[in-house]
Structure 1
């Protein structure tokens, strides 16, 4: 009887926690027969699950949590005891919808939700172009090394270094141009934490008080403080 009462108490606590949620993740996974989806967040540099659901068939799923402020969360799929992929997304109070497939869980993900997510996708589109250019440079460098073309090797190396600089400058400008959004400090701490301190400080000084006080605004300030100690 004591064990039964304990289990009932846990269920009641869990139900209350979901009732107090202010964020819902809805979605579907095409061709999934059976699996478990997890809603996760990063705590102390570790991914932890904050909600989960067992799925049978292609039925829609719903996961919930409470957000103090917008932040990047993760949708993870576990199929037959094996990790089948993870999808990061920028969550904010309200509803986010993710529809994807079992075959290409990450690549096929269509995300509809927060304005922060829209900005993140805009940023990623440009980053994809940088990645494509980087692959071209790697290919050119390999061909130059095979033919022992020292001029082409030097040229591809210079282009690569210029590409890195352009990527950093684009990220800095994107953050400053979107200083009213949590995306600004998030990109600073996740994409360019090793950038010149003056650039990180420029982003930080451009943030309005509300963004400075957000999760990633505080992380950016902590990063700058740590870098100054070095």
Structure 2
């Protein structure tokens, strides 16, 4: 499968490797669950004049059998997700929920106390055969429930459709019913140029192989 480490390896072997001065790990985003195409987002550490970006943007480099174009990416702030109630559109420090929501089962407790407060982890010694309780500090082996999409996964699992659209303010606002324009104005990405270097953002499209 194409993941961040694989992409970094391809970049390192490319004829444009001197310009792939990565500022962080590339982010691979499949176009859809049924698509064999993916978009790769990456930031490069660059000079103040953007010398590396000028070499990369609108160029092509070989990614396996495909010749992939490199485009300049628009700067988007990621939609905040609260680590207290796990809802999108506000930060943890501005959450109004009195109780935390468990990312595993959406219950009114922290993830650390999930195995103590949920029946699925208590076990049942009277069952035939007996069902053992989940050991303390062991991950819950039972089916999770996502409070956002309703899927059978943890709300923090980045396979959730909400995480796929973590930069798509319109998509999330349509489902979460919050004032996305206010958040966009408050959380818009701004580039801070230092005296001798800054980060440029770019993306390219590649073939996705499972």
TM-score, normalised relative to structure 1: 0.23
Q: Which has the higher strand share?
A: 1
Structure possessing the higher relative contact order (Cα contacts under 8 Å, 6 or more residues apart) = 2
* Greater fraction of residues in helix: 1
